Amino acid sequence: MSVRSPDLIEPDWPAPPGVRAAFTLRTGGVSAPPYDSFNCAAHVGDAPHAVAENRARLRTVLELTDEPVWLEQVHGARAVVLAGAPVAPVVADAAITRERGRVCVVQVADCLPVLLAAGDGAAVGVAHAGWRGLAGGVLEAALGALGTPAAQVLAWLGPAIGPEHFEVGEEVRTAFVRADPAAAAAFSANARGRWQCDLYALARQRLRALGVHSIHGGPWCTYAQRDRFFSYRRDGRCGRMAALIWRA
């Protein structure tokens, strides 16, 4: 019996030669509900053998020689530079590498994945940018670790929850507007006295303020597109998608 390959989004961006990237969808794996079917995360309660099989399928379809470096994400702003094989779980929300074959990856199910590449292809990375990470400076940390002038960096914004479904409280809006009054444009008041938050707009504002102008990707909505994406806000218990980037 043939084994189905996982379904992927290949970023549509002008990445330099030798830079490869992919984003997994929720389909094409072996996980049972509510993790059906291509869950890449080992920390959400899915059967370990199913996660292992899904990750093996991912390595096969992407022709990876090494296992991606799966981070222990904490919704923070720490960025790590990957060099050599990690010897312990890596606690961070962004990863950068200059090594060929070293695969940077973050896992998401509503938070925004941001891929980064130096214009000359010498360094690549990815950031896990939910609202806490964005407000805390994860993009700033990732760009600092990339070590490339911002004007020479390309960014790709992957699937995340859209503003129609991402309701937040005043504390979230205040965290952004206090740092940059222009961030107010990314929030719309709703009838419940709360705010609809546009993660894509916030990320673009941050990147442009840092000097990154080659910004691609978006918009999707993980919450609205149930057949393609996991969404923690929609489902609670669910799998995670993966955003990967590496130098081939």
- The pLDDT, as a whole number, for residue 6 is 83
| Range 8-160+222-247 classified under CATH 3.60.140.10 | yes
What does the alpha-carbon distance between residue 135 and residue 155 come to, in Å, rounded to a whole number?
A: 18
- The pLDDT, as a whole number, for residue 4 is 67
Q: What is the mean pLDDT of residues 225-246?
A: 97
- The pLDDT, as a whole number, for residue 1 is 39
- Residue 210: pLDDT above 70? yes
pLDDT averaged over every residue in the chain: 95
C-alpha distances out from residue 11 to 1, 102, 245, Å = 30, 19, 10
- Residue 3: pLDDT above 80? no
Buried b (16+ CB within 10 A) or exposed e, 174-184: ebbbeeeeebe
In the DSSP assignment, the letter for residue 170 is H
Q: Using an 8 Å Cβ cutoff, are 35 and 50 in contact?
A: yes
In the DSSP assignment, the letter for residue 68 is -
Burial grade of 238 (CB within 10 A; 0-12, 13-18, 19 or more): buried
C-alpha distances out from residue 243 to 96, 128, 182, Å = 13, 9, 28
Q: What is the mean pLDDT of residues 220-245?
A: 97
Main-chain phi, psi angles of 167, to 5 degrees? -90, 130
Structure tokens belonging to residue 3: 């084994």
Burial grade of 189 (CB within 10 A; 0-12, 13-18, 19 or more): exposed
- The pLDDT, as a whole number, for residue 89 is 86
pLDDT 10s digits, 69-108: 999 999 999 999 999 877 778 999 999 999 999 999 999 9
- Residue 198: pLDDT above 90? yes
Q: What is the mean pLDDT of residues 163-185?
A: 97
Contacting residues for 130 by C-beta, under 8 A, at least 6 apart: 75, 110, 111, 112, 199
- The pLDDT, as a whole number, for residue 29 is 96
Strands 104-108 and 241-247: antiparallel
- The pLDDT, as a whole number, for residue 88 is 77
- Residue 144: pLDDT above 50? yes
Among 165, 166, 167, 158, which residue's Cα sits nearest to residue 220? Answer: 158
- Residue 217: pLDDT above 60? yes
Structure tokens belonging to residue 211: 């000097």
Question: At which residue do the structure tokens 């990237």 appear?
Answer: 21
Q: Is the dihedral of CA 20, 23, 25, 27 positive or negative?
A: positive
Main-chain phi, psi angles of 232, to 5 degrees? -65, -40
Structure tokens belonging to residue 209: 């303020």
